[in-house]
Structure 1
Amino acid sequence: MYELFKNLGSWLVSGDQWGGTGGIAHRLAEHLEYSLLATLIAAAIALPLGLLIGHTGRGAFVAINLASFGRALPTVGLVVLVFLVAGLSLWAVYVALVVLAVPAIVTNTYAGMAAVDPEVKDAARGQGMRGHQVLFQVELPLALPLIMTGLRLSLIQVVSTATIAAYVSFGGLGRYVFDGLAQRDLVQVLGGAVLVAVVAVVLDLALAALQRFLFRHRRTADAH
């Protein structure tokens, strides 16, 4: 075991391992591209849906059940299915990652909106606020903590699952995992897994820092 981790350390810090199209830097860039783009697309779909459902109170049953269905779908199976329909392309990977990311964003956005005190919304309407003003000036700020939690959960899931790109012959950090398995190179497999875990933790910490900044800025604005 000691020898394995010693070899892993040498593998991670080797200058040769970081250069070229098969190097860690390039694979990391590919993995971040897959993960961030898929999460942004999922957020563009799920946030308006969750906000609309939470604001109007309509369609919650359908949305939550669809979200649960999407969460239960086997990601690799979905990739294979899209490949059979659309052919070999990265779109299959993106579709699978987006489907994976949408449920947590929808459910957390809806939960955050539903948790807003109805009396607060009634008071806002009593002051003459229109529907969109209540949504963006009252409900959304109060629901933001749960919305950010949903985004963080989705991003971590996507980063972890983006290794499937390598399963279907594309890049990313999953390349080390699948190539290492094919070559029976345990150091490479472990190195790929460690890199994916580190990326997930770093991105989660970055979003947590952003969340704290937004809330601190909001509290400062409220104080003034």
Structure 2
Amino acid sequence: MTWFIDHLGEVWDLGRQHAVLAGLPLLLGLLIALPLGWLARRFRWLYAPFTAGFGLLYTIPSLALFVILPLVTGRGILDPFNVIVAMTLYTVALLVRTVADGLGSVPGAVTNAATAMGYTPGKRFFAVELPLAVPVISAGLRVAAVSNVSIVSVGTVIGVQQLGLFFSDGFNRQFYDPIVVGIVACIVLALLFDAVILVVTRLLTPWLRATGARA
């Protein structure tokens, strides 16, 4: 506890950087996965290659990706941009199937009713299909958030500033306090991400609360 208090400013700064490196790719990955998941759902023949193909991105070792990406992006190996790109790819890998399955969970009777009411495909997607798929997408997003917080810490191997630096610092000095603080900070950050996603999901699905209240 004494070590934590003495290094509170450093924990805060690295925690903020860790949150950006894990959170920004979460938003970017969701924006990319939404149209890809819709395509996989809209054209059935794309479902298998999309879900399997993008899923394979998650099998790439994070350290290898962090080292290779600077050669692709042309950025320095210490540039956080490379970590953001890598984490966005991992997020897309996790969410494409989730989005496709979430849209697939919308009852056909509901989409048919919306079409009969004159909804265009675009309006039906944003007004009917996507809102009803939010709970499924949210569940996948929570998994991706925890995964991102964990994987970002690997960036410490290439010198990117974030909470993972406490792990390497503690290991190099054979001093466990920074390791424990780093672990706890990552857990707290993951819980914060999870809480935010749950709150946003709750705000976007008011009918679920109404249904629960009637039950």
TM-score, normalised to structure 2, is 0.88
> Residue 10 of structure 1 aligns with which residue?
2
| 1:112–1:147 CA contact under 8 A, matched in 2 | yes
| 1:124–1:134 CA contact under 8 A, matched in 2 | yes
> Residue 65 of structure 2 aligns with which residue?
78
2:24 aligned to which of 28, 37, 58: 37
**1:122 CA drift (Å):** 1.8
> Residue 165 of structure 2 aligns with which residue?
175
**CA distance in 1: counterparts of 2:195 and 2:152, whole angstroms:** 19
**CA distance in 2: counterparts of 1:190 and 1:33, whole angstroms:** 21
Superposition map of 1:94-173 within 5 A: 94-173=84-163
Structure 2 residue 35 is matched with structure 1 residue 48: yes
| 1:93–1:164 CA contact under 8 A, matched in 2 | no
Q: Show structure 1 runs of 5+ residues with no match.
A: 1-8
1:145 aligns to what SS in structure 2? helix
**CA distance in 2: counterparts of 1:129 and 1:93, whole angstroms:** 41
Residue 170 of structure 1 aligns to which amino acid in structure 2?
Answer: V
Structure 1 vs Structure 2 CA RMSD: 2.1
Residue 64 of structure 1 aligns to which amino acid in structure 2?
Answer: T
1:163 aligns to what SS in structure 2? helix
1:60 aligned to which of 17, 37, 47: 47
**1:165 CA drift (Å):** 2.4
Q: Which moved more, 1:133-142 or 1:50-59?
A: 50-59
| 2:66–2:155 CA contact under 8 A, matched in 1 | no
2:202 aligned to which of 208, 212, 222: 212
Q: Across the two proteins, how many residue pairs are aligned to each other? A: 209
**CA distance in 2: counterparts of 1:197 and 1:31, whole angstroms:** 12
| 2:39–2:46 CA contact under 8 A, matched in 1 | no
**CA distance in 2: counterparts of 1:96 and 1:148, whole angstroms:** 21
**1:112 CA drift (Å):** 0.7
| 1:55–1:113 CA contact under 8 A, matched in 2 | no
Residue 34 of structure 1 aligns to which amino acid in structure 2?
Answer: L
Q: Show structure 2 runs of 5+ residues with no match.
A: 211-215
**1:84 CA drift (Å):** 4.2
| 1:108–1:147 CA contact under 8 A, matched in 2 | yes
Q: Give 4+ residue runs of structure 1 displaced > 4 Å after superposition.
A: 217-220
> Residue 174 of structure 2 aligns with which residue?
184
Residue 167 of structure 1 aligns to which amino acid in structure 2?
Answer: V
| 2:25–2:84 CA contact under 8 A, matched in 1 | yes
Q: Which moved more, 1:123-132 or 1:48-57?
A: 48-57
Residue 3 of structure 2 aligns to which amino acid in structure 1?
Answer: W
TM-score, normalised to structure 1, is 0.85
| 1:145–1:211 CA contact under 8 A, matched in 2 | yes
**CA distance in 1: counterparts of 2:25 and 2:12, whole angstroms:** 20
**CA distance in 1: counterparts of 2:208 and 2:123, whole angstroms:** 17
| 2:63–2:155 CA contact under 8 A, matched in 1 | no
| 2:29–2:89 CA contact under 8 A, matched in 1 | yes
